[in-house]
Structure 1
Amino acid sequence: MALDAESEAIGSLLLDRGALTVEQLDAAEDLAEDWNVSLVKVLLSRRWLTAHDLYREIAFYHGLTLVDLIEDRADDDLIRQYDPVVMNQYMTVPIGRAEDGTLTVATSRPGPRTVLHIREVYGTGVTIVVASHFDVSWQLQRAFREKHSHEAVFALAELDPDMSAQNVVTPPQILVIYLLVSALLLGLAFAPVATLIVLNVFLTIFYTGNFLFKALLVWLGGAAQETSSRAIAAEASLLRDEDLPIYTVLVPMFREPEVLPILAQALRNLDYPLAKLDIKIVLEEGDHETIDAARKLDLEGVFEIIRVPASHPQTKPKACNFALRYAQGDFLVIFDAEDKPEPDQLKKVIAAFNQSAPNTACIQCRLNYYNARENWLTRMFTLDYSLWFDLMLPGLERLGVPIPLGGTSNHFRMDVLRELNAWDPFNVTEDADLGIRLTQKGYRVGVIDSTTFEEANVSIPNWVRQRSRWIKGYMQTFLVHSRRPIHLWQSVGTAGIFGFIFFIGGTVLSGLLNPVFWSIFAIWLIFGTEVISPYFPLPVLYLSLVNLLAGNGLLIYLTMVAPFRRRWTDLAPWGITVVGYWVLMTVASYKALSQLIFNPFYWEKTQHGLSKHTANEVAEASAEATEAAQ
């Protein structure tokens, strides 16, 4: 598509005034035509000139004054008289009113369309000035700091309280728990043998169902995506850059300055027009170290720092909710700081949305690790993720049951995300909760064959902190969505109920109950059958034996075959040691239960950058960025 007259004129001006070289202008004009965006957007996606210099030339072209809203702060009370959604959409903000009543409005997008919008919203007696889009966004963040911070924390709890984890347990749930505990204690007091037999029957059947359900998921997920993956890849390769939508990328970080270069380079490497990416680096306002590191990187103009006001709970979903108020894309994805998505991931997601049912609201991509072979823990973590994302989630999709999303590489339709009040800031596994909530609201979650590679934990204490937070979030998610069992059944169906119980509840319960069954097995080995036979009638004993041998054997087998889909056959023998990994899961489960009771909203930070690969990644990313800037 040919350049518009304004882009051509601004390009000539930048060349005449020495802001660009001939080679740079030619490259920028070619990209503007290929991507179907303005020349200004292309230049913001390059580092040939600073954002300040670019906006200075834009102001000169339009004959307007360039203002610095960081130095000369706008009137917050005046800004709050207007709609922040509209101001963010058009990148305009009123900054002051003269004594004669003339209103001064700053914009980062001067031009005929913006002038018409300003006249419609602010009136005709207006003086227009130019400010960078960073300055306009920062003014909105400061003016609506309290409002947007409150919404980020309480919007879901106030507008849809049944779906919020703000109340850990509700009064009816407390009553049910009280009745169950009372029944158990009374049974143990007056009929201990019968009570233990009933309990063993229940737990044994639950374990058997959990094993069989996971086996079914792997069987269904093994071949669930072959045809759809080829179709999605074929359409993605045919997508034209000029037709692609604006894509918001949220990158929530906290005290992780060391991985910023890796993040920036991974996003630059995406096969997507950089000028069509709206990248928000979401940082806590008190995290000065990471904020300073981001500034020193001299990132392209498509990168923007969002400073999240301090408030409780201090969680990733709260930060994302705050940043969502300033997002401008049609689609949104979350990447963690150390993520390296496959370059064609965004295009594959667009193709997947095009081929999916109209009620598809989210596409989950696969997660795995680039340091899989660093030590035993990273190998087990990789086997765990390979089983989960490569086999089980596709099986859930095929069954049509709720999919608990992973913590990253979830791609959302922006309109649905806002409709559902986004993430629950009180749930520490916010995406798993959102996946269940999407299904209950009538939306569908898809899973596609595109991988984002992360840094696997190399430290056991660090892994326990991370996994205990995930399990605590699963506990919160189970409590929230079991509050209205009839509504849950009506919204997700019978298969969805079983999937929810075994995939969410089973993940939690197996970690808590493993020590009980291991202890019973140890007692049987030491003291013989006579000690446990009164509590295990013959049918229950046989079923327990099946669980012990066939069930655990099946899970070990599934762990060993999980990496075959990626042809990582050298990892398969390590699956034999998965029992040690289950022990760590139990430790994390009891820590999660303790925190659920005493500190339910605490977000236990996982430290990244511990891998020996990180230093090399940072050096490579910095070198690539320097080469690209030249």
Structure 2
Amino acid sequence: MSHLFTLLDTLGLLLLGLYLVQMTLAALLPRPRRSRAPDPRLRFTVLIPALNEEEVIVATVRSVRTLAPEARVAVIDDGSEDATAALVGTLADADPQVRLLRRVAPHARQGKGKALNWAARRVVEDARAEGRDLRHEVLVILDADGRLSPGLLPGARRAFADPWVMGAQAHVQVRMSGIPSTFHGWIGRMLELEQDIEYFIIRHMQQLRERWHGVALFGNGQFMRASYLAGQFERGRDPWPDCLSEDLASGLELRLADPRFRLAFLESAVTQQGLPDLGRFTRQRARWVQGTMQCAPYIPRLWRARVPLAARLDLSYFLSNPWTIALVLLSLLSQPVRLLFGERGLVLDPVVATTLTGLNLALQAQWVARYRRQNPLNPGMVALAFGGLFVYGFAIFSSLPRAYRNYLTRRHVWDKSVRHAEGLEIEQPRVVPASSSD
């Protein structure tokens, strides 16, 4: 038994080391730069999947039309039971650039991936019928609560000026909802703040991944070139696979379709609502973890393909995370058993243990400090950010058992996020410093 605990602790220590190396590289390495001029020939179609989104859909469509008047907007109503379709239909009647795409039973509500494949196929067919060059047509996937930032489409024009860039992912920011200053309100503020800090860290990770063509797609703010989509349809492959992380899987499919295809990361942001409720947050994270588990079969395909070695290692590490984290959980949860039976595992030298703990805390502290330089926080919010790291980490870990249970019992349920109403005049995206890659 002692040998088993030693092996478990050693693996956990190795995973911690890999995490520290990854975070250190993301924090220290300078971001890549793009020098291409924007491609003025590109046309954008914004696809907005919507299921019971009457609270936000009008403001979202109007926001896109105001900020990107040259773009078309297509809302995919996936069998809504509220006024979503009627509201979008009214907008479409008044604006020829707005289109309502309706899915009805029995085809509706079969997952976001199927809705996107269905809608993208229609958009591609229409573009062909109009004689447009699919190489210059780009689809933008925007959540029903999403908002484009002013620099996003210009940044996309620069990225897609490279003819081998077939997809891109925008930086994501969380809009603070102005929750009342009650106890539950402060918990909600903390969750929203930690989600935004997490996306801030992901931004640096994506910059690191762009060096070795390992950028991941995460749905909101996802860009796809229509010529790539058309090629996938012709090959009989869905660009968005039928899984709970259809966005992540879509990036893997793109990377495997042709070794020359590339994914870009866009510094300008898409903003979205956060999840201020702890229960809803853990359910969302359980879905994300389960979706990543469903993508594990891509690992051997990545190693058989002509993908850069660094991208293979990084993506394999990411896709195996739900299972490797289980080892860390077992190491922690086995501590009472060890005390009961007097067993021990790997015993670290106090200096080594203190150093590792200090490094982890220092990394977290530097992320908060860097975040504060770009996002003005008063001392109370800084304290909330630091203290919330532990609560946030606990919430993420607490979502894992639900994810494992759902995966092992094959319970693949889309736990839809609940939105709250907003007006068109809402918090603007924070501006990324001019030294960024965009």
TM-score of the superposed pair, with normalisation by structure 1? 0.57
Shift of 1:216: 1.3
Deviation at 1:424, TM superposition (A): 3.5
Deviations 1:74-122 (A, max 9, x none): xxxxxxxxxxxxxxxxxxxxxxxxxxxxxxxxxxxxxxxxxxxxxxxxx
**Structure 2 stretches lacking a partner, 5+ long:** 128-133, 180-188, 427-438
Among residues 315, 318, 335, which one is paired with 1:503 in the alignment? Answer: 318
Query: Would the aligned equivalents of 2:241 and 2:249 in 1 still touch at CA under 8 Å?
Result: no
| SS of equivalent residue, structure 1 residue 492 | coil
1:252 aligns with 2:49: yes
Equivalent position of 1:304 in the other structure: 99
Q: Deviations over 1:487-508 (max 9, x none)?
A: 1xx43233123212333323x2
CA contact (8 A) 1:439 1:491 kept: no
Does structure 2 conserve the Cα–Cα contact (< 8 Å) formed by 1:404 and 1:434?
Answer: no
Who is 1:404 aligned against?
216
* CA displacement at 1:423 relative to structure 2: 3.4
Q: Deviations over 1:418-471 (max 9, x none)?
A: 323343342111111122232233221111221111111121222222221111
Residue 381 of structure 1 is matched in structure 2 by 195
Match of 1:281 in 2: 75
- 1:218 correspondence with 2:15: no
Deviation at 1:206, TM superposition (A): 2.0
Alpha-carbon distance in structure 2 between the residues aligned to 1:505 and 1:551: 24
Match of 2:87 in 1: 293
Q: Which has the higher contact order (CA 8 A, sep 6+)?
A: 2
Alignment partner of 1:605 is 2:416? yes
Residues 110-259 of structure 1 aligned to structure 2 (within 5 Å): 192-220=1-29, 223-225=30-32, 227-228=33-34, 231=35, 235-236=37-38, 243-259=40-56
Q: Is the 8 A contact 1:254 1:290 kept in 2?
A: yes
1:511 and 1:585 in contact (8 A); partners too:
no
**Max Rg structure:** 1
The corresponding residue for 2:436 is: none
Give the C-alpha shift of residue 578 in structure 1: 0.5
Partner of 2:149: 342
Question: Aligned runs of 1:353-372 on 2, under 5 Å?
Answer: 353-354=160-161, 356=162, 358-371=163-176
Q: Is the 8 A contact 2:171 2:270 kept in 1?
A: yes
* Aligned 8 A contact 1:331 1:413 in 2: yes
Q: Distance in 2 between matches of 1:334 and 1:481?
A: 23
Q: Structure 1 residues 485, 397: closer, same or farther in 2, change over 3 A?
A: closer
Q: Rate the CA distance shift 1:347–1:272 in 2: closer, same or farther, 3 A.
A: farther
User: Which segments of 5 or more consecutive residues in structure 1 lack a partner in the other structure?
Assistant: 1-191, 622-630
- Secondary structure, aligned partner of 2:406: helix
Match of 1:535 in 2: 345
One-letter code aligned to 1:293: L
Task: Find 2:282's aligned residue among 464, 478, 493.
Answer: 464
After superposition, the C-alpha distances for 1:520-557 in whole angstroms (9 at most, x for unaligned) are 67899xx69x945x421557x8766554x135314422
Amino acid at match of 2:243: N
Mapped contact 1:338–1:608 kept (Cα < 8 A): yes
Q: How far did residue 332 of structure 1 move?
A: 0.7
Equivalents in 2 of 1:596, 1:346: separation in Å? 37
**Shift in CA distance, 360/333, structure 1 to aligned 2, threshold 3 Å:** same
Which one of the candidate residues 394, 411, 430 is aligned to 2:207?
Answer: 394
- Paired-residue identity, %: 18
C-alpha deviation, 1:583, in angstroms: 0.8
Q: Supply the RMSD in Å over aligned alpha carbons.
A: 3.0
Residue of structure 1 in register with 2:184 after alignment: none
1:600 deviates by 4.4
Q: Deviations over 1:373-411 (max 9, x none)?
A: 64111111111111112x11111112x142221111111
User: Which residue of structure 2 aligns with residue 23 of structure 1?
Assistant: none
* Separation (CA, whole Å) in 1 of partners of 2:337 and 2:45: 56
- 2:294 is matched with 476
Quick one: which amino acid aligns to residue 159 of structure 2? A
Distance 2:41 2:55 in 1: 32
Decide which structure has greater helix share: 1
Residues 318, 544 of structure 1: alpha-carbon distance in 2 compared, 3 angstrom cutoff: farther
Which amino acid in 2 is paired with 1:395? L
Asked whether the equivalents of residues 469 and 604 of structure 1 are also in contact (C-alpha less than 8 Å), the reply is yes
The answer to whether the 8 A contact 2:299-2:316 is kept is no
Deviation at 1:263, TM superposition (A): 0.8
The letter for the 2-side match of 1:207 is L
- Structure 2: how far apart are the matches of 1:305 and 1:380? 35
437, 444, 449: which one aligns with 2:267: 449
